[in-house]
Chains A and B, each alone.
Chain A
Amino acid sequence: MKNYIKYLLAGIFFGIVLIKSEVVSWFRIQEMFRFDSFHMYGIIGLGVVIAMISIQIIKRKNIKDMEGNAITISPKDPKQVTRYIVGGTLFGFGWALTGACPGPLFSLAGAGYSIMIVPILSALAGTWVYGKIRPSLPH
Chain B
Amino acid sequence: MELIEFLRQPWPWYVAGPLIGLIVPILLIAGGKLFGVSANLRHACAACVPGDIEFFKYDWKKSGKWNLVFVAGTILGGFIGGWLLSNPDPIKISAQTITDLKALGISDFSGMLPSDVFNWENVASTQGIILMIVGGFLVGFGARYAGGCTSGHAITGLADLQLASLLAVIGFFAGGLFITYIIYPFIF
The interface of chain A, by Cβ under 8 A from chain B, is 3-4, 6-34, 36-40, 42-52, 54-55, 57-58, 63, 65-67, 69-73, 75-78, 80-81, 83-103, 105-115, 118-132, 134-135, 137
Contact = CB atoms under 8 A, between A and B. Distances in A.
Contact of B179 (A36, A52, A69, A96): A96
A8 B71 CA distance: 8
A66 B28 CA distance: 9
Given A66-B29, A118-B132, A122-B139, 8 more contacts: A18-B77, A19-B77, A21-B15, A55-B160, A65-B32, A71-B28, A101-B151, A113-B113
Would you call the interface of chain B mostly helix, strand, loop, or mixed?
helix
A63 B20 CA distance: 21
Given A27-B97, A108-B113, A130 B145 contact: yes
Contact of B162 (A78, A95, A122, A131): A78
Interface in B73-91: 73-83, 85-87, 91
Contacts of B154: 44, 48
Contacts of A65: 28-32
Interface in B119-161: 119-120, 123, 130-151, 153-161
Given A7-B67, A124-B44, A21 B140 contact: no
Would you call the interface of chain A mostly helix, strand, loop, or mixed?
helix
Contact of A46 (B11, B14, B143, B184): B14
B176 to A, nearest CB: 4
A54 B118 CA distance: 38
Given A10-B23, A22-B112, A88 B146 contact: yes
Nearest to B141: A126
B72 A128 contact: no
Contacts of A63: 29
A45 B17 contact: yes
A36 B96 contact: yes
A51 B182 CA distance: 34
Contacts of A40: 13
Given A17-B19, A80-B164, A51 B24 contact: yes
29 contacts: A7-B31, A8-B76, A10-B27, A12-B76, A18-B20, A20-B11, A21-B10, A22-B91, A26-B112, A28-B93, A48-B158, A49-B21, A54-B25, A65-B30, A81-B167, A83-B145, A94-B134, A95-B172, A97-B132, A97-B134, A103-B149, A106-B37, A111-B81, A112-B82, A113-B82, A115-B119, A126-B138, A130-B140, A132-B53
Interface string B155-188: 1111111111101111111111111100110000
Contacts of A13: 19, 23, 26, 73, 77
Contact of B174 (A3, A10, A14, A89): A89
